[in-house]
C-alpha cells in the first residue's frame, strides 16, 4: 500500500495513537488502513469412500492437486463460500456436513476452513481454474503433488479419523 | 475505496475478465483490489462456573457487555488472536480449549470465532477498550445488554451444552 484509497494521497506506516502495531495511515484525511487475514474455504467431497481433488490450472502451485477451496467473498457465509468454490472449481454439487479443519497459516495471513461433504452426483468436470478433477481412493492420493500444506494436513487427519471411526474438529497452525 | 492504493489513480468498480463479481479495478496500473471478510476472534473465559464479560468502552455498542474478542491481525494464528484480545480487553490470562463457535455474519462480512477457555487467575481488570470486567453466574448474565448477536448465540449454546454435559462445535449463520 502506497496511496490512500480514500483520498489518493501517499500513506505512511506508523503506530497510530492508542494502537500497538504499525498501520498504513493517511495524514491528509486521517484514515487508518487496517489489514487483516483472509479466509480460504473449501470442502472434502466424498463419494463411496473416494475423495474429489482438483488439479490447479492457475498459480500458485499450477499443476498440483488440491481440495476445492478458495477465498471467501464479502457478504458470504462460510457454507456459501465452500459450496461456491466447489461448484466453480469442479462443477460439483455437495451436501456439507460439519466444519472439519480450521487451520491458521500466519506466514501468509490466512485461515483455511474445510467442511466434510458428500458429493451428490458424478456429474463433475473441471472449472476454469482446474486442469483435471477426479476421485481418489486413499492409496491413490498424490501426496507429493498436493498444492498446499493445509490440504495435506486436512486429508491426513481425515483418513486417520475415518480409520478410527469418528470425525472431530481439527484446529492447527501451519508454520 | 476511491483511489488505487498502489498508484494513487482513481479506481472504477466493474467485473474483471474471468471473474463474476464487481471489484475495484485500477485502469492505470491494472491492480484489482479484492475485499474479503474479516475475522473476529475471542474466547469464553470460565472460572468455577462463572464467565468473564467486558463492558465496552468503545463504539460500536459502547456500554454493552461482550466476551473478550476482536479483529485478528495479519501474521497471527487464531489462538494468538484470542489470547491477545483477552489480555488487551480484560488483562486476563486464559488457557484455550477447543474452538467452540464459528459464526458467519454476512451482512457485515465477518466471521466470529470463540474458543472455550479457562481463566488462570482472578487478577483481571479493564483494558483501554473496556469500562468494566467481571465474572457472571448464568443467572446474572445481562442478556438484554449484550453487545453482539454472536456473543448471545455463543453464550446460549454454551450454557445449554454445559447443562447437557458436553460441548460441541457450533457453526451457524447470524443474519
Per-residue model confidence as pLDDT tens digits over B122-160: 999 999 999 999 999 999 999 999 999 999 999 999 999
Q: What is the dihedral of CA A42, A150, A56, A63, to 10 degrees?
A: -170
Position B18 scores a pLDDT of: 86
Q: Does B6 sit within 8 Å of A3, measured CB to CB? A: yes
CB contact under 8 A, B171 and A99: yes
Residues of A in contact with B7 (CB under 8 A): 2-3
User: What ipTM did this prediction achieve?
Assistant: 0.96
Q: Which residues from A are below 8 Å from B74, CB to CB?
A: 35-37, 109
Strand, coil or helix: what is A152? helix
pLDDT, position A18 = 87
Q: How far apart (Å, rounded) are the C-alpha atoms in residues A110 and A149?
A: 12
As a whole number of angstroms, the distance between CA A146 and CA A157 comes to: 15
A residues 83-122 closer than 8 Å to B (CB) = 98-99, 102, 104, 106-107, 109, 111, 113
Residues 43-72, chain B: which have Cβ within 8 Å of A? 71-72
**Residue B57 clears pLDDT 90, i.e. is over it:** yes
Contacts 24+ apart (CB under 8 A), B149-152: B149/B105, B149/B174, B150/B40, B150/B101, B150/B103, B150/B105, B150/B112, B150/B114, B150/B174, B151/B65, B151/B66, B151/B67, B151/B69
Q: Which residues of B touch A10 (CB under 8 A)?
A: 8
Q: Is any Cβ of chain B less than 8 angstroms from the Cβ of A173? A: yes
Sequence-distant (6+) residues with CB within 8 A of B140 are: none
Cβ-Cβ contacts under 8 Å, B102 against chain A? 78, 99, 102, 113
Phi (first) and psi of residue A133, to 5 degrees: -135, 130
Query: What is the rounded end-to-end Cα distance, in angstroms, of chain A?
Result: 25
Is B94:B102 a contact under the CB 8 Å cutoff? Answer: no
d(CA A24, CA B90): 27
Question: Which chain B residue is nearest to residue A113, measuring alpha carbons?
Answer: B102
E strand spans, chain B? 12-14, 23-25, 32-33, 38-47, 50-56, 65-66, 69-71, 94-105, 110-119, 130-136, 170-173
**Residue B169 cell numbers, joined:** 462445535
Can you give the pLDDT at residue B109? 98
Residue B52: pLDDT above 90?
A: yes
Distance (Å) from the alpha carbon of A134 to chain B's nearest alpha carbon: 23
Query: Shortest CA distance to A121 belongs to which of A95, A89, A93?
Result: A93
The Cα A101–Cα A82 span in angstroms is: 13
pTM value surpassing 0.80: yes
Q: Is-cis flag, bond preceding A95, omega within 30?
A: no
Give the Cα separation of A121 and A158 in Å (integer).
21
Show the cell assigned to A139.
Answer: 492409496
Closest-CA distance of chain A to residue B139, Å: 30
Measure CB to CB from residue B169 to each of A7, A21, A98 and give the nearest one.
Answer: A98
CA distance B4 to B49: 51
Nearest CA among B125, B167, B174, B145 for reference residue B66:
B145
**Domains identified in chain B and CATH numbers:** 1-35 (2.20.70.10), 38-173 (3.90.79.10)
Contact B78 A33 (CB under 8 A): no
Q: Which residue of A has its CA nearest to B7?
A: A3
pLDDT tens readout for residues B58-83: 999 999 999 999 999 999 999 999 99
Inter-chain CB proximity A72 and B36 less than 8 Å: yes
What are the beta bridge partners of residue A172? A103
CB contact (8 A) between residue A102 and residue B78: yes
Question: pLDDT tens across A72-85, in order?
Answer: 999 999 999 999 99
- A102-155: pLDDT as tens digits: 999 999 999 999 999 999 999 999 999 999 999 999 999 999 999 999 999 999
What mean pLDDT is predicted for residues A162-169? 96
Identify the CA nearest to B114 among candidates B66, B74, B163. B66
Amino acid at each position: 500500500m502506497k496511496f490512500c484509497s480514500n483520498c489518493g494521497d501517499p500513506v505512511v506506516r506508523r503506530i497510530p495513537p492508542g494502537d500497538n502495531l504499525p498501520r498504513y495511515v493517511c495524514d491528509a484525511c486521517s484514515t487508518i488502513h487496517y489489514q487483516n487475514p483472509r479466509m480460504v474455504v473449501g470442502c472434502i467431497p466424498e463419494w463411496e469412500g473416494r475423495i474429489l481433488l482438483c488439479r490447479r490450472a492457475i498459480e500458485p502451485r499450477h499443476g498440483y492437486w488440491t481440495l476445492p477451496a478458495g477465498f471467501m467473498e464479502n457478504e458470504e457465509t462460510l457454507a456459501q463460500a465452500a459450496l461456491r468454490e466447489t461448484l466453480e472449481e469442479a462443477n460439483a454439487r455437495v451436501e456439507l456436513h460439519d466444519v472439519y479443519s480450521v487451520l491458521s497459516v500466519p506466514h501468509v495471513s490466512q485461515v483455511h476452513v474445510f467442511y466434510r461433504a458428500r458429493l451428490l452426483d458424478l456429474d463433475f468436470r473441471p472449472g476454469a481454474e482446474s486442469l483435471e478433477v477426479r476421485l481418489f481412493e486413499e492409496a491413490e492420493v498424490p501426496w507429493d503433488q498436493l498444492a498446499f500444506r493445509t490440504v495435506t494436513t486436512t486429508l491426513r487427519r481425515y483418513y486417520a479419523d475415518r480409520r478410527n471411526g469418528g470425525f472431530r474438529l481439527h484446529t492447527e497452525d501451519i508454520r
